[in-house]
Amino acid sequence: MSTSSAILTPESSTQARLHARFLSMVRGEFVKTARLFWIMLIILYAGCMLGFLLGATQRAVQTDLQHTPLHFLYYTVESNLVIFRILSGIFLLILTSFSIGYEYQYGTIRILLARGAGRVQLLLAKLVMLAAMALLLLVLFILLLALLICVQLLIMAGNLHALSAITPAFWSNSGIDVFTVAFNMLITILLAAAMNALGRSLTIGLSASLLWFPLDNFASPFTSVLAQLLHNDFWLNLSAYLLGPLLNRLPEMLLPKAARTGFEAFGLEPMVHVSGSHALWVGAAYALVFLVLALIPTWKRDIKE
């Protein structure tokens, strides 16, 4: 009989320590932001529940439930995901800014670096923590929405028979809708991370993050005005590369026509026709640029008193 034993080399030991250290940093970042996270989560879900109640009390909803239950379910899921996308976007802009910008503005990042944390490693730990929080937000909201739909059916119809109208296509289309929300959340985190890494201040980073999408959205109709004044379609085509309008209409671009209720998307749109694949590629390019803008200043610029 022969036995073999694993030999722990210095390299593998170092990698294990680095891995454990990184996970500890992620946990530490969660502990620091946990209080703000739970407070904002309560506010976020209160806003989502208010939006759900307003949508559920519309006159056409009862008729829709009785005659076209599948359309009712599409309407309920899509309209509430739109509300969640908007509110969670604001939530993540604020949370990311406090996680990154606060450290710079109040100098607490110097304490972390003095303990041996690398600047890039610390930023990546924050981003992983924020991505995990965003995923948790989304999963909890989906569970909450499912519960609210069941309660609504019991109140309005006295039973859950409308759920029998669900088809495999409904699950597929709802998955697409959820994906667009997750895609939006990822870009939102990276946007706020970039603004705070560049500004190195909670005030600057949070202000720039909150102003990005309003300015980006209102730039879309402005391109139409420029195109008419200058008689040049270049400005119209430029609207197809504005992040805000693309994210606003991404569900509309990706969902099949049969799954659209008119409430799947909200906000200004590009001034030209844009395909779903184009919107995804442009969104991914923005995400990559934001990530680079967050990493390079963190890596290259020193932390000074």
pLDDT of residue 285: 97
Closest CA relative to residue 196, chosen from 94, 75, 266: 94
On average, the pLDDT of the chain sits at 86
Q: Is the pLDDT of residue 234 over 70?
A: yes
Closest CA relative to residue 78, chosen from 217, 296, 255: 255
pLDDT of residue 5: 44
Span 155-167, pLDDT tens digits? 988 888 889 899 9
The Cα 232–Cα 224 span in angstroms is: 10
Q: Is the pLDDT of residue 19 over 80?
A: no
Q: Is the pLDDT of residue 179 over 70?
A: yes
- pTM of the model as a whole: 0.88
Q: Is the pLDDT of residue 304 over 70?
A: no
Span 47-95, pLDDT tens digits? 999 999 988 888 788 888 888 999 999 999 999 999 999 999 999 999 9
The Cα 94–Cα 226 span in angstroms is: 33
Closest CA relative to residue 279, chosen from 304, 303, 255: 255
Higher local confidence (pLDDT), 65 or 138:
138
pLDDT of residue 294: 93
The Cα 125–Cα 7 span in angstroms is: 30
Task: Give the confidence band of 144 by pLDDT, cuts at 50, 70, 90.
Answer: very high
pLDDT of residue 1: 45
